[in-house]
Structure 1
Amino acid sequence: MRPLHKSVFLIFFLMSFSIFLVAQDLEEFDRKINQQSKNLEQVSREIDALQKRIQSASHRELTYSDELEYLDHQIGLTDRRITAMEQQLSLRREKVALLKKNKAQNEVLRDKLIDRYKKRVVRFYTTHTDDMISLIFTSDNMRQLFYRVKYFNAISKADKELYYEIIALIEQIEQETREIEAEEAEIQKTLASLRSEAASFREMKADRAQKLEKIKSDRKMLTQELEAKEASRMELQRIIASMRTQREDRLRELERQRRLRAATMSHREYPTFSSGKGNLPWPVQGTVIGRFGRQIHPVLKTETENNGIDIKAPEKTPVMAIQDGLVTTVTWLRGYGNTIIIMHGEDYYTVYSHVGGIRVSENEYVESGQVIAEVSDSGSLQGHMLHFEIWDSRQKLNPEEWLSRRN
């Protein structure tokens, strides 16, 4: 192989390897974008179902508590949709950046190959007529040049191979350009939707704040809300108990995910949930304002049951998974708001309520310490806080006995 051929071979070997790596990255971006699209579809279905509930209830007079429930649920779903849109937007922007980077690299390769081709043509045709050289060098573009050379049928086999390689590279660049334009159009559509959702979200939040103030000053409505929360507390227990029907499948998936990550991290081991008792990390940095067990309501002076603890923290404070696990549930419950449930193996589950900015979806694997959401006032009568629970099968546990003593 002549030096020139070796050089061209090396260029295309590197180009092919680069294309392979970029294709893998693009495939991963498309997988994640597709997952976010599914999340958006799921939220849209939940919003449609809620609208049907509201319409079916419109024939009767709604209580103030009912109005607050529907509004709070709408806010929770809108928040989830906004977060999914933001994540999809970020993924699309990263994909565009990768496409542009690859396009720039390919344009450099194209220019190098074209320069080589020009030099070869010059060397080859210097012995031919001036008319032929004039036809070649008055070509309007590279495609025309190639076709004219081919027309004269005075091109060697090596030249033909190089010609087709350059044409293929040009077509690839054109395809990348079309992909970039398509992704940028999707970004603009997502941005427009986000602005509309954000405006609607702000209006609903303002409406909710007014309704909350009225409820806090009305003992009858406050009692209704607490009764609704008690019903949701029982529903949450039912949800966790029902998970036993899918326990084996989820345990297998959890172990599969752990093996995959252990293979990429040298000798990584995942401790059992029970072995971490007393040393598990806190899900959020804040102040405990509601403890586990029976509590006396500060306003109504009635006895209530708390299945977990309530941690006061500023809005948008990151909420983290306390151990790796599989997200089994992302839902909304009256009195609890947006709620995430994670299974950790050994029949242990953790519950994170009153959250916003949810960053995970059902059946997704999460690592210990991964941010899964943010503190919000979703479903809360006491402002921004995280309600946190730990369950062992069907038995609720005191989180403060499991978490490390320092928060």
Structure 2
Amino acid sequence: MMHKGKQLAATVLAAVLFCAAWPSLGQDAGKVQIKIGQLREEMALQEEKLQQSTQEEVAVLDELDKISSKMEEQQEKINLLQKQLEVQRQNLAKTQAVLNQTMQERDKALQHMLNRLRAFYMMGRLGVLNVTFSSKTLPELMLMTDSFRSLAAYDRTVIEKYRESLTALKQAQTAHELEESLLEELVRQAEEQQQALTVLRTQREEVLTRIKTEQGLYRLAMQEMRQAEARLIRSLSQEEPDFPSYNGPGLLPFKGKLPLPTDGKIIHRFGEVLKEGLRKGEKVNGLHIAVQPETEVRAVQKGLVISAGYRRGYGNAVIIDHGQNWRTVTSRLDAVLVREGEEVAQNQKIGISGDLATLYEPGLYFEIRHGSSPQNPLQWLKAN
């Protein structure tokens, strides 16, 4: 991240220094065009990086969305397990309470049984001495003996039932404890997974922050290079030809009367802010005209051709001096049909346009300038 940031910062600094130093280039059009080409190549590279960064951002955002969804599902799972664990603990507590109560009842039953057995023992076996010295009659003594025996048998049955109940309760207690232990382990594992997702989300958020920082640096670099390019373009538009300026009436007398340079649909107007491409956010200084293949391009008014041919970043372009410091620029031509120094008449063919690929925008580009000030061509063209 730091290495990339230094590279981008160096690019921005180079653009700023070049932007500040451009007047020293003088009127050497070749050098200026080369610098414009270099800037546009670098801008294309920065745009490519920006697009890659945007794709990476979309991927990270999609991953963050999936992580958040998994975290929600994991939290629901933890909540459910915790509820089950709480129910299991309540069941275990109830079982423990029943077990304790059963053990107390069993102990009481055992004590009763021991008391009766002790009394039965103290009475001894029924014999002559018992009958002779007892205050009770023989039938009463026999009945008492039978009663003791019946109670002992009953106590034994009760104790056996308590023993069975205690065995079942202890088994249930063991099962509840195992279930509780299992649920606690599941909760622990789920919480560990939730923590891992939290760490992963934090890492991806850091990546997203880095991506946004890089995008800011890319945009800053492109902005600085656009400013440098704009100044270089203005320097080109202010170049003086190697031959005398055209002594013509200019364009002022023909305001609202000029023909469109070609047949086509205007897709970008003067002053419109571009919404796509490397020039996104910039204002248009002329017209962008969508044309069909092999469409003729004409001079809108008579004048002197001061530039005809390829210009880096413009493609094939024709600049005509109409006198009085008025000029028209027509670029993105498939073919140029005039030469520098040639006088042209109104509606004379100066080139052929078509599907010529350009660096930035499609279609033919047409511009009217008075000195270094761009004019709105629609104010100079015929209403139709």
Task: Give yes or no for TM over 0.5.
Answer: no
TM-score, with length taken from structure 1: 0.39
Point out the structure with max Rg over C-alpha: 2
TM-score, with length taken from structure 2: 0.41
